[in-house]
A and B are shown apart, each in its own frame.
Chain A
Amino acid sequence: MPEGALEIDRISKRYGDVVALDEMSLTVRSGEMLGFVGSNGAGKTTTMRIALGVLAADSGEVRYDDAPVDRTIRSRIGYMPEERGLYPKMKVLDQLQYLGELHGMERAEANRAANRWTERLELSERRDDQLQKLSLGNQQRVQLAAALIHDPAVLILDEPFSGLDPVAVEVMSTVLGEMRDRGVPVVFSSHQLELVQRLCDRVGIVRRGRMIADGTVEELRSSGPVRLNVHAPKAPDDWAEGLPGVKVESHQNGHTTLRLDEQADDQQVLRAALDTGPVHEFSRTRPSLTELFREAVTEEPDE
């Protein structure tokens, strides 16, 4: 049973003048699933590649179970690169067995695991087919099996859900959930934020090579701006102007959406609304992950 946490500790990487990662840090604990979000080019893939040792960092360290990740530990990581790829002309079972052996498994053991995973991912009938003869969805399943074949202690998956059909998304979610429940730290990047919100225990938002927000979905949502929806039919257009910490986002037919920052007092807003006449609705909403993400990555666009 894997027990360790994966820690990425202030890794930096530059390509000439381009800073790809700037002291990026993140921790995924045992039995935790972390969603890694950020716009394209923010540094997610680079972070994962460094964690895998496919790339070398300029500085910083990657640790598993408090020890720097070395070759032995690396071979226990399950990895799914963003650019999917296996040998197109190799048979499914041979391919998985080969990868298992490269990860240090005995031949027979790798063969058993390959059989088990093809069965689990409903690929039993395609075992002896060349990969290129499989549908795209099935190829993705083989790719997942390739990441799981050696019973990894850590899972690092780059965009595992992209290009999957809804059924495959369910299969993938279930399998990842099972791995997490067995104590494996799971980290995956995704642009499908609803999926991240639904599956992940924690979310890390990355921008320009830095982690700018990291916490449980609840934590992130409650730390974000609060919105109020007020329905006061008799209120004039400017009823909320001048209230401290309040910004009017929209006003239409007596429906007003307000955005409150930390210094705003919602009770003061309520009183101001009641002063205009009847109030039919006064509700507080938390931003969705999508909104949080949008704000996080669009804030101060030119630093």
Chain B
Amino acid sequence: MQKRYILEKFIFILCITISFSTNAQTSVNLKDIIYKAENKLRGKSSVAEMKITTIRPKYTREMEMKSWTQGEDLSLMYITKPVRDKGTTYLKRYKEIWYYLPSIERNIKMPPSMMNQSWMGTDLSNDDLVKKTSLSKDFEHTLLGEETIDGHTCYHIKLIPHENADVIWGKIELWIENNHYNVMKQQSFDEDMELVNTMTASNIQEMSGETIPLKMEFFPADKPQQKTLMEYISIEFNVKIPTHYFTTQYMTKIKA
């Protein structure tokens, strides 16, 4: 059952990497900014070590993992902590997901609907994040001003979905840092314009040629004492990852 918790985190990480990468065209300046933010890490490969902390009023739980990603289609994650789950490995290869349990030496295939699960306890599903919403294409953009977040000057932009767009949000507000186009803050509102969740980013660093925030925090609006914290312990971009890493065979052989 713990595996399901980890799987949720795996999909969560996939979505974080993927949510910044969808198609769009450029014409207006604001659109251009959002396009740059969305496509910042598109198609890139990365090798990262990260830590996810789930914070609740009465407890916290930590998890550490190593991940390899190549664009949006290939992703591999190896759990290093907690010890109980050490060695459990998840693989996403195009439309298929497997996990490997070292204790019984078995690969288990997951149903595609796993990608359909709600994300962060919201109405937003992973699939919505991955496929449908293009922040630059499906919304009308209005500049609300400039604000400083974590010491960085950001464009504060309001996004209202086009009438025909297949978007579940009523409104999104973005704070995009003007130097490297990192999304430093994002607030998503439902169709009644109620705040659903907030993401904030901090600790911008240059990591192998990419300037990115190393820390991200996610807050559900209706549960003020809860948050999920994601931190990169290390991350390298544009690494040449052998293609055989993203295979069910390699999953069983990882030494990390």
Q: Determine if chain A interacts with chain B.
A: no
